[in-house]
Amino acid sequence: MGQNISRRGFLGTAGGAAIGVAGLSMAGPLAGRAGAAMAVAAKDTPSPSLGLQLFSVRNAISSLGFAVVFETLAQQGYKEVEFAGYTSPASPGITIPQLRQLLDDNGLKAIGSHISLNNLLNAGVREQQYEIAVQLGMPYIGTANDIPGQTVAEIQAGADRFNAAADVAATYGLRIYQHNHANEFAFTADQPNVRRYTPFINRIDWSRNVFLEMDILWAYGGARKYAQPGGTNGLPLPNGAFGFDPANWVAANPERYRLFHAKDGTPNADPASGNSFTPSEFGAGTIDFRSFFAKVGARYENHPLWEQDNAPNTPAELGGVFGASRRSYLGMFETRTLTWLDEMHALVGRMVLNRQLTASVGAGLQDRLDRAISRYQDGHEESAMGYLGQFVAKVGNQVRGFSASKAMLLSNADMIMGWLQESEDRELGG
């Protein structure tokens, strides 16, 4: 049975180790469980921040104003927001500096914004949008509009516009991005075996300040709606199966994806209808986010953002839109914790392969993590913390040399221990 341990006790166990040191060489294939991580601050380093796209709570912004919405979201635990407009009837005349102050007052960071394609790319208008982004403290600004064009040449020309705009955005200290729906995965008009996304991605100059935001649900929708060539721009399979795995697009080039819309949903009866899925609260749909992030790994920074297009329709008896945002935050919180426990398991396996740990030590560490995962999944955070505490003790006593590797394990365990303690405190507090 796991030894109970508080986060305070954990920090004492960790002792004087060099917590926070990063930079571990991970050569060779993965051992055992694949690496998995939702919310990555830097390579193999967990991020404490979960966010949302404000479009999900647009009715509350319209009726209550930004001040009430930001305060509520911060109380629920959100740390990052992606804008979908800067005005509200309930906040008449609000200025960009005032919005920034509200963010700061509530400990929120503006991670990005969805603006129109033309406002993002066109000279003469984009500069004002970039300045707004700078004032709000954003590192990124993007669009949820479809990529331009239907033929390969048209799409390549659209990608060139992104490349040119990225050079201008860089002078403001910004990176720009494009957010997908299902249509990006349709087939081109002149090369019916080539998906529209392919010439766009191949034409982007990734050395410039461009990246992609994957809407996970809509990517699965594209894989279902446009599963195979045929018809005008693609057809579903007869059984509604997926034509590809969206996670593979990310796994092949994870550096190209910095933001994710962590959107859940259920499949439409007609795979060709809309984006092929109907959004739901996070955890209430059919998307296996843990498996998705198992393929994505923890090699590059990523920010998960909850989005639910129909969240404003949440019934009052279920808490309305803020009930949906709260439950979705808790679902993302659990998924992030599990994926980072998975990633720790994979880190240990890679250290064994790299001969930074003996097989017996690695097996013992992975056993403690397996037990922590099992207890956490069963809703026993205190017991999970006990097993993670045993993991920390073993790292401290049995990992010798390789100080950076040891520090990384301890630092990551510290972060995860904090999440487990937060979850435990939440349950005890009601």
Residue 37 in tokens: 């991580």
Q: What is the per-residue pLDDT for 142? A: 98
- Write out the DSSP string of 112-144: EEEE-HHHHHSTTTHHHHHHHHHHTT-SEEEE-
The three-state secondary structure class of 13 is helix
Residues 6+ apart with CB under 8 A from 280: 264, 265, 266, 308
> Are 114 and 55 spatial neighbours (Cβ–Cβ below 8 Å)?
yes
> Are 214 and 172 spatial neighbours (Cβ–Cβ below 8 Å)?
no
- What's this model's pTM, rounded to 2 decimal places? 0.91
- For 94, other C-beta atoms within 10 Å of its C-beta total 16
Q: pLDDT 10s per residue in the chain (430 long)?
A: 334 444 334 333 333 333 222 222 233 333 445 667 899 999 889 999 999 999 999 999 999 999 999 999 999 999 999 999 999 999 999 999 999 999 999 999 999 999 999 999 999 999 999 999 999 999 999 999 999 999 999 999 999 999 999 999 999 999 999 999 999 999 999 999 999 999 999 999 999 999 999 999 999 999 999 999 999 999 999 999 999 999 999 999 999 999 999 999 999 999 999 999 999 999 999 999 999 998 887 889 999 999 999 999 999 999 999 999 999 999 999 999 999 999 999 999 999 999 999 999 999 999 999 999 999 999 999 999 999 999 999 999 999 888 888 999 999 999 999 999 999 999 888 5
Which residue type occupies 93? Answer: G
Q: What is the per-residue pLDDT for 4? A: 42
Rounded CA-CA distance 228/243 in Å is 6
Q: What is the per-residue pLDDT for 429? A: 81
β partners of residue 235: 228
Rounded CA-CA distance 380/142 in Å is 40
